[in-house]
A and B are shown apart, each in its own frame.
Chain A
Amino acid sequence: EAQVTQNPRYLITVTGKKLTVTCSQNMNHEYMSWYRQDPGLGLRQIYYSMNVEVTDKGDVPEGYKVSRKEKRNFPLILESPSPNQTSLYFCASQDSEGDEQYFGPGTRLTVT
């Protein structure tokens, strides 16, 4: 089954404790992206990757890091999480020919 998977689905952590949210897709898509969803703001792009070893900032990159060492994986790293990073996070992928982005199920992160 074609899908985008994210882990963990839920995470509660404390300020300053480094964490990684994994994202993997099995569709051989070149493009991958991370978004955060906040009430009243919709989805905002954090980082994106056009292909392996090619990443770039989206609209709200501060406080986040990403890497793209393999085509299928695109982890999101929070080196020192803060409460304002409490949000619902989505990973997405898209191939070079298609219209649509395929989204993962989301990761709900709470930073206390």
Chain B
Amino acid sequence: DQQVKQNSPSLSVQEGRISILNCDYTNSMFDYFLWYKKYPAEGPTFLISISSIKDKNEDGRFTVFLNKSAKHLSLHIVPSQPGDSAVYFCAASGGRAARQLTFGSGTQLTVLP
């Protein structure tokens, strides 16, 4: 049973609009969450993270929201750009110092010009 779920395999958004990628988790022991971005033929690269003591973390155009009671997090990209087109993976761990990550299945974001 997948402990981290990304239920939307794909998402298309118009350039300049907001992209919202969602992620749900089931394990209550997870308390640190990360988003990775992956382009074809490359390894994933770290995008943004959030600790469970926060409900929001912002870095430029990227904001991650965490709703602990719902075991749900989301990544907002505003404004979306064609270069944001990639697969986005949500990941969770049992703390910032923990190294074992559990990944979701990924969402392919396509930003249309």
* A residues in contact (CB < 8 Å) with B: 4, 31, 33, 35, 40-45, 48, 50, 58-59, 90, 92, 94, 96, 99-106
Q: Chain B residues with Cβ under 8 A from A40's Cβ?
A: 9, 105
Contacts of A33 in B (CB 8 A): 99-100
B85-113 contacts to A, CB under 8 A, are 89, 91, 96-97, 99-106
Smallest Cβ distance from A76 to chain B, in angstroms?
15
A106 to B2, CA, bound (A): 23
Pick the residue among B41, B44, B45, B99 that contacts A43 (CB under 8 A).
B44
> Could you mark each residue 2-31 of chain B with 1 if its beta carbon is under 8 Å from any beta carbon of chain A, else 0?
101010010000000000000000000000
**Interface SS, B side:** loop
Q: How far is the CA of A29 from the CA of B45 in the complex (A)?
A: 16
Please state if A50 and B99 are interface contacts (CB–CB under 8 Å).
yes
Tell me, in angstroms, the Cα distance from A42 to B23 when the chains sit together. 13
* A-side contacts of B41, CB under 8 Å: 105-106
Some 24 contacts from A to B, beta carbons below 8 A apart, are: A33-B99, A35-B103, A41-B2, A42-B2, A42-B4, A42-B6, A42-B89, A42-B105, A43-B103, A44-B103, A45-B102, A59-B102, A96-B97, A99-B34, A99-B96, A100-B34, A101-B46, A101-B99, A101-B101, A103-B36, A103-B43, A103-B44, A104-B43, A106-B43
B residues near A92, Cβ cutoff 8 Å: 43
The answer to whether B34 touches A90, judged by C-beta atoms less than 8 angstroms apart, is no
Instruction: Verify B43–A105 contact, CB threshold 8 A.
Output: yes
**Chain B: CB-nearest residue to A50:** B99
